[in-house]
Amino acid sequence: MNLMADILINVIIAFLAGSLLLGLHRKVMARVQKRPGPPIVQHLIHSLKFFFKETAFPKTVSKPFYIGIVFILALVWVVGVIVGPVAHDSLLILFGVYAVYKIVEHNSGSSSGSPYGKLSCVRAVLSAATELPLFAAIVFVYLKTGSMNIGNIIAYQSAHGPLVLSIPLAALMFFMLIITKSPYSPFAITKDKALISGFETEHFGFLRGFMLFSESVAWYVMLWVFLTIFFGPLNPVGYLIGMIVITFITGFINATTPILSPNHSVMTQITIGAICFFGTVVMIFTGVVA
């Protein structure tokens, strides 16, 4: 297939599947809290609807940055789709994508001129703690498989079985990242409702629709990477089931867990990351895992 067609198809699949999964996530949360909740397609409809909503740029914003940061958000997740589902390339590039995402959170808040956005931008720096367990998980995948390349990791798992069985604590560390990035997460300190919508507060109308598009793609890419590097070669049905199951689990967790204060959130993430890190080291060196 033509490479550009492959990329376009994967971006569209990522947007549609990501939107529906995020809609499912809200539905699960609502049902757990004994509310009917919005329809599953609501997130998708919102994303498209905002493209036609009235949009104005507040006087206080730094306009090129205010618009540019939304463009960069979409750009980094298109890179995520290319590195993951399309090219099966290096995990390090994906780690770079997450690093840039953190910069987007920070700069989106600071470019808005809103006090809520600015406070969220400060919290984005604190919440960089999320990326530490991700980096540790990637290191363990490398130690185990001898490669950072997603294609090689898939090949390794076809020969030796899924990595979730050999380095489960590394998988748990990656799962922590998924919980952190899921909507209404206990660790989502940058989007705490005390800050209205955090760094997104001043991005409304079309720009919010564009951000919702990128967030849908981001959710799909994150689940795809997790399933691919820990659950071995999967067919499309396997990916679909895996993504729905993870969305259900995160929905249950987020519906029953209140958001933590910034210091508790960071300490919890670092503690879980440290336990999983040393646990995996012990498992490898004591021969618990081959």
Q: Going residue by residue from 207 to 246, which x/- string records binding to another protein, judged by CB under 8 A?
A: x-xx--x---------------------------------
Q: What are phi and psi of 214, to 5 degrees?
A: -65, -40
Site membership for another protein, residue 112 (CB under 8 A): yes
Site membership for another protein, residue 57 (CB under 8 A): yes
Strand stretches in 99-180, DSSP E: none
Site membership for another protein, residue 82 (CB under 8 A): yes
The answer to whether residues 121 and 199 touch, using CB atoms and an 8 Å cutoff, is: yes
Residue in 110, 130, 157, 201 binding another protein, rule: CB under 8 A? 201
3 state DSSP class of 149: strand
Q: Which of 73, 67, 64, 66 is nearest to 104 (CA)?
A: 73
Tokens found for residue 122? 């400060």
Site membership for another protein, residue 178 (CB under 8 A): no
Alpha-carbon distance of 224 to 218, in angstroms, equals: 10
- Residues forming a β-bridge with 149: 90
Number of residues that bind another protein (CB under 8 A): 41
3 state DSSP class of 113: coil
Q: By CB under 8 A, which span of 38-46, 65-73, 138-146, 240-248 interacts with another protein?
A: 65-73
Instruction: Map the footprint of another protein across residues 9-48, applying CB under 8 A.
Output: 11
Site membership for another protein, residue 115 (CB under 8 A): yes
**Residues at the contact surface with another protein, assessed by CB under 8 A:** 2-5, 7-8, 11, 51-61, 67, 70-71, 74-75, 78-79, 82, 112-117, 196, 201-202, 205-207, 209-210, 213
